[in-house]
Amino acid sequence: MGKPPADVNFTFSDAELKSLMAFGEVRFHEAGEQLIDEGDAAGDCLITLSGHTNILVETPMGEKRVGWMERGQFAGDISVLSGQASLSRVEMGEAGEVLHISHSNFQRLLVENSHFSDIFVRTMTARRVFAHDSSHGAVIVIGDAHDRDVFVARDTLSKHMIAHRWLDPETDPLARRIIEARDIDPADLPVVIRGRSKIMSRPDVGELSDAFGLDLVPDNSCVDVVVVGAGPAGLAASVYAASEGLSVVTLDTDGPGGQAGTSSKIENYLGFPMGVSGRELASRAAIQAQKFGARIASPATAIDLSREGNDYCLSLKDGRKLKSRAVVIATGAQYRRLPIENLERFEGRGIYYGATPMEAQLCGGQDVCIVGAGNSAGQGAVFLSQSARNVHVLYRRPDIRETMSEYLVRRLEETANIHLHPETEIEALHGTGSDDALTDRLTRATFHNRKSGERRERDIPFVFLFIGAQPFTDWLPEHMSCDEKGFVKTGPDLSNLDLVRAGWTLDRMPTRYETSWPRVYAVGDVRIGSVKRVASSVGEGSVVVSDIHRALGETSGTSDS
């Protein structure tokens, strides 16, 4: 592991330490005393006052000290802010005093003091980045690259900024040594290892969430605003609502980012002249929302919305119920599936819905196909062209400029190993035909040119789908008005009949992003007539908060149920 950069540590002055003591409690610890164990969630922020504390991380070579904190220095990375499970162990190296700031008080500190907030967030974020780059192995995924469970595990960890190391048991000697040392049965692969304390065989998203503390929202929580969806619109609403002093819980089925999180590089988003990946943008926004006190729960799937007096109740798939005074629906839209036989069989084994570094690692030196003609498809093609041998872009329209930004079209045309196929679609998928889930994967695809009628089978082991948009609205109540495609109607798109059916009783009309239910709003791609751009979604998510404030002021002593 290389030398840590300067920004991963910070030393508070005596005056700053005096101010920080108002938020915590000073405790004396003997040498060797454990302060935080691996796996502890919502732990204290620890600031060393005397002696020193050791930061210990489990690696494939055993436990290793990766740092130590002296007077004025604090332990922990972004998990201290988010409440996620700690991936390290903190032990008192030399007897002394430590300032303990509880998780709740730490959240209050970040909101109330911008000076300390900047220091903590900047340093903790830098430490998480350093841990990712150093690959010290606190979290290890062992399994075949094309195994669907491996993909799900790595995708989940990446969305939640959890640095991990992936090892292929067939090609990596270290994987074989770990399997033997940890007494792992090869039949249990793939596995996810969290330090020295937990080994999970084929974990689903729920098990990963429990192990890494990704969802700390208790049952029957009651807040001002529940935001359903953590894409750009939902995260913007979370940031602005929390920064305005509202209590916020943000739910997402997968993890922060939404559809935008699959974009390898967004180059036309204001303020990022060098571009930014969708996942990085989502990670920054999630940290920003949590800094202001928003709680992000994932995986957490909303399955029902109902009225309870003057409040709303959201029922989650796992049985929990959350109450709120207002709801923001930001569930976005998903890429449509191709109407092709065996598509589901190859998902995660050759069929993918995003082009991130994880997917690029899989398809290096091979031919890939991208289906779609929007900006996400163009960004994915340019990104994958850096590692793939050839990138075939298929789209149904005769001219890709009808749906893609000009700067991206030029990139596609000027990149030698990108090949455009207008008026062409995938007609069939072909695999190994193996009954073994580990070896059954996509190998070929049949291209069909709709204009000429030509059909051609190509060796294409990787297909990326960026087609259409299908809103996540099946869970909404019957009387919440949507159009025939499922997109939510808001404000001026609502008719008088829509309002009558929904039981609207207020003496005002719905505001711009308000649905046919008072204080329930829809923003971003899920809303009818929305512009499918990240900047537009962020704008809607931020603007809607002013409407929420006004509407919450109306509820005092009234009932609209």
Do 242 and 329 have their domain in common?
Answer: yes
* Domain boundary residue, one of 449, 465, 481: 465
Do 443 and 357 have their domain in common?
Answer: yes
Do 189 and 250 have their domain in common?
Answer: no
Per-residue pLDDT of 54-73, as tens digits, reads 999 988 888 999 889 999 99
pLDDT at 258 > cutoff 80: yes
Percentage with pLDDT > 90 across the chain: 78
**CATH number of 61's domain:** 2.60.120.10
Indicate whether 92 belongs to any domain.
yes
Do 146 and 263 have their domain in common?
Answer: no
**CATH number of 354's domain:** 3.50.50.60
The pLDDT value given to residue 448: 97
Per-residue pLDDT of 75-102, as tens digits, reads 999 999 999 999 999 999 999 999 999 9
Average pLDDT of span 102-130 = 93
Do 515 and 432 have their domain in common?
Answer: no
pLDDT at 4 > cutoff 70: no
Indicate whether 87 belongs to any domain.
yes
Do 11 and 120 have their domain in common?
Answer: yes
Indicate whether 59 belongs to any domain.
yes
Average pLDDT of span 296-308 = 94
Indicate whether 481 belongs to any domain.
no
Do 226 and 198 have their domain in common?
Answer: no
Do 502 and 411 have their domain in common?
Answer: no
Compute the distance between CA of residue 369 and CA of residue 445 in angstroms, rounded to an integer: 9
Do 268 and 289 have their domain in common?
Answer: yes
Indicate whether 205 belongs to any domain.
yes
- Separation of CA 101 from chain center: 27
pLDDT range class, residue 145, cuts 50, 70, 90: confident
Per-residue pLDDT of 370-383, as tens digits, reads 999 999 899 999 99
Burial class (CB in 10 A: 0-12, 13-18, 19+), 527: buried
pLDDT range class, residue 28, cuts 50, 70, 90: very high
Do 266 and 348 have their domain in common?
Answer: no
Of residues 477, 478, 476, 231, the one with CA closest to residue 333:
231
Indicate whether 482 belongs to any domain.
no
Indicate whether 68 belongs to any domain.
yes
Indicate whether 486 belongs to any domain.
no
The pLDDT value given to residue 264: 82
* Domain boundary residue, one of 80, 99, 132: 132
Do 161 and 176 have their domain in common?
Answer: yes
Per-residue pLDDT of 150-207, as tens digits, reads 999 999 999 998 989 999 999 999 999 999 999 999 999 999 999 988 999 999 999 9
**CATH number of 161's domain:** 3.40.30.10
Compute the distance between CA of residue 552 and CA of residue 327 in angstroms, rounded to an integer: 11
The pLDDT value given to residue 346: 93
* Domain boundary residue, one of 87, 113, 132: 132
The pLDDT value given to residue 191: 97
Structural domain including 144 reads: 139-212
The pLDDT value given to residue 561: 36
pLDDT range class, residue 435, cuts 50, 70, 90: low
Compute the distance between CA of residue 493 and CA of residue 243 in angstroms, rounded to an integer: 30
Judged by DSSP in three states, 129 sits in helix
Do 425 and 373 have their domain in common?
Answer: yes
Ramachandran bin of 486, using left for φ above 0, alpha for ψ from -120 to 50, beta for the remaining angles: left
pLDDT at 133 > cutoff 80: no
Overall number of domains in the chain:
4
The answer to which of 93-102, 264-273, 431-440 has the lowest mean pLDDT is: 431-440
**Are 554 and 514 spatial neighbours (Cβ–Cβ below 8 Å)?**
no
